[in-house]
């Protein structure tokens, strides 16, 4: 038995699918960290539900990435046997939970994007991605609604909750630009009608979040500078810690099942 | 865990085959919108429902358990109120 990392042949479609799978897995894992720790029982369930939605999306995307690659890398290998530099998720989704406001703001920024993204991807020329999109869109729509309602209540709540929500925006804002970035590999898929151009979603995304934040009496930062790197494996220091917990069992006892 | 800011709500679910909403339990939420979402997250995780009602628990007027003798016992001796004393004409079929 070996616990060395698998190597993945990242053709454009494999890489593209892997990136979305990593987004879903990492964000789902972050949400699962709340399990048993949420401020109220009702929200504990809500967070776990969202985590399970995302885990389901990740599984389908990993399976498809493995199938497209055609090298015996199944969903488990892709999730458990790639190191931090091989992960392709957005920096936004790996950011630590922080307080409840920060968790909800991260969810809000991502879900507002994912809802538009999956809806657009339902028209993908790739039948599998289009099918995954159709399922994911409904889940993302609910995540957006749930997080929006919380943002409104936190922002327009007490002085304490307002300050925490505004702090979360200021902290996370620089990680939102990466959602709309496109590199060469993705450009080729966009040209083929397999992927969609996320840049086209940004005005709608901005409109969605501006509306909610205005109702929440919260302000968007004027800061335009955006952090990038997750899509090519340059992550913040937080992802390595997340993966060490996520992958511990398979790294210690290779091939273990229960 | 409940504070004065998170009132109690009663949850009613109409199932796939059900005609009426049935009481399934209660939960805490700050307002009606959040109560509806919490009800969805807690009580419909296994495909139980197609429709949800949430009602503030405080809106319910309940009978007093201490008065159950006065309230319910008088009906127990009136079996003639059950519809088993009528002859249903055959043409009616199943009712």
Q: Which helix (H) or strand (E) holds B53?
A: strand B51-56
Q: Which of B6, B27, B41 sits opposite A49 (nearest CB)?
A: B41
Q: Torsion angle of alpha carbons A69, A74, A76, A77, nearest 10°?
A: -60
Distance between CA atoms of residues B10 and B39, nearest Å: 9
Distance between CA atoms of residues A102 and A104, nearest Å: 5
- Report which of residues B28 and B6 the model is more confident about: B28
Q: Which helix (H) or strand (E) holds A28?
A: helix A12-32
In a domain, A69, yes or no: yes
Contacts of B91 (CB under 8 A, 6+ apart): none
> pLDDT tens, A230-257?
999 999 999 999 999 999 999 999 988 8
Contacts of A122 (CB under 8 A, 6+ apart): A130, A133, A134, A137
Chain B residue closest in CA terms to A142: B37
**Chain-chain contact of B28 with A45 (C-beta, under 8 angstroms):** no
In a domain, A257, yes or no: no
Would you state the pLDDT for residue B27? 97
- Provide the domain limits for residue A108: 12-252
Which domains are delineated in chain B? 8-92 (3.10.20.520)
Question: Do the beta carbons of residue A82 and residue A142 sit within 8 Å?
Answer: no
Q: Which of B6, B37, B41 sits opposite A149 (nearest CB)?
A: B37
User: Nearest CA to A11 among A180, A230, A191, A184?
Assistant: A184
**Chain-chain contact of A42 with B41 (C-beta, under 8 angstroms):** yes
CATH number at residue A246: 1.20.1260.10
Would you state the pLDDT for residue B87? 80
Question: What residues of chain A lie within 8 A of the CB of B10, using their CB?
Answer: none
| Radius of gyration, CA atoms only, chain A | 18
Residue B35 three-state SS: helix
In a domain, A134, yes or no: yes
| Sheet containing B22-28: order of strands | B22-28, B8-14, B51-56
Residue positions counted in chain B? 95
Work out the minimum CA distance from B27 to partner chain A, whole angstroms: 7
**Chain-chain contact of B38 with A42 (C-beta, under 8 angstroms):** yes
**Chain-chain contact of B33 with A42 (C-beta, under 8 angstroms):** no
Would you state the pLDDT for residue A120? 98
Q: ipTM of this model?
A: 0.85
> pLDDT tens, A94-108?
999 999 999 999 999
**Chain-chain contact of B41 with A46 (C-beta, under 8 angstroms):** yes
Maximum pairwise Cα distance, chain B: 60
**Chain-chain contact of A149 with B28 (C-beta, under 8 angstroms):** no
Chain B residue closest in CA terms to A50: B41
Chain B residue closest in CA terms to A53: B45
In a domain, A196, yes or no: yes
Query: Tokens standing for A107?
Result: 């969810």
Q: How far is CA A228 from CA A146, A174, A202, in A?
A: 27, 9, 16
Query: Given CB atoms, is B34 within the 8 Å cutoff of chain A?
Result: yes
**How many domains does one find in chain A?**
1
In a domain, A192, yes or no: yes
Would you state the pLDDT for residue A1? 45
In a domain, A3, yes or no: no
Q: What is the DSSP letter of B86?
A: S
Mean pLDDT by 10 residues, chain A (258 residues): 82 98 98 95 96 98 98 95 97 98 98 98 98 98 98 97 98 98 96 97 98 98 93 97 95 88
Would you state the pLDDT for residue B86? 75
Distance between CA atoms of residues A110 and A32, nearest Å: 16
**Chain-chain contact of B37 with A46 (C-beta, under 8 angstroms):** yes
> pLDDT tens, B32-86?
999 999 999 999 998 888 999 999 999 999 999 999 999 999 988 888 888 777 7
């Amino acid at each position: 038995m070996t616990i060395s990392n698998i190597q993945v042949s990242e053709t454009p479609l494999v890489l593209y699918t892997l990136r979305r799978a990593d987004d879903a897995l990492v964000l789902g894992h972050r949400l699962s960290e709340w399990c048993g720790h949420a401020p109220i029982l009702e929200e504990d369930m809500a967070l776990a539900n969202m985590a399970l939605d995302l885990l389901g999306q990740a599984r389908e995307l990993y399976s498809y990435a493995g199938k497209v690659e055609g090298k015996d890398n199944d969903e488990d290998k892709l999730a458990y046997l790639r190191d931090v530099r091989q992960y392709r998720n957005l920096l936004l989704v790996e950011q630590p939970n922080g307080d409840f406001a920060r968790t909800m703001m991260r969810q809000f920024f991502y879900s507002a994007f994912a809802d538009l993204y999956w809806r657009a991807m339902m028209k993908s020329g790739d039948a599998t991605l289009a099918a995954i999109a159709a399922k994911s869109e409904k889940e993302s729509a609910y995540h957006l609604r749930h997080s929006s309602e919380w943002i409104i209540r936190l922002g327009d709540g007490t002085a304490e909750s307002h300050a925490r929500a505004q702090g979360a925006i200021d902290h996370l804002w620089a990680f939102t630009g990466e959602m709309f970035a496109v590199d060469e590999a993705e450009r080729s898929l966009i040209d083929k009608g397999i992927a969609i151009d996320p840049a086209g979603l940004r005005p709608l995304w901005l409109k969605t979040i501006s509306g909610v934040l205005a109702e929440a009496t919260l302000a968007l930062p004027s800061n335009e500078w955006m952090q990038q790197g997750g899509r090519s494996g340059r992550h913040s220091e937080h992802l390595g810690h997340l993966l060490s917990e996520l992958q511990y069992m398979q790294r210690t006892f290779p091939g273990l099942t229960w | 865990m409940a504070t004065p800011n998170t009132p109690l709500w009663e949850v009613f679910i109409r199932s796939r085959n059900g005609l009426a909403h049935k009481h399934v339990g209660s939960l805490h939420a700050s307002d009606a919108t959040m109560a509806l979402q919490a009800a969805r997250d807690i009580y419909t995780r296994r495909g139980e429902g197609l429709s949800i009602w949430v009602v503030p628990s405080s809106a319910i007027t309940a009978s007093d358990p201490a008065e159950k003798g006065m309230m319910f016992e008088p009906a127990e001796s009136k079996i003639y109120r059950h519809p088993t004393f009528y002859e249903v004409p055959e043409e009616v079929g199943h009712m």
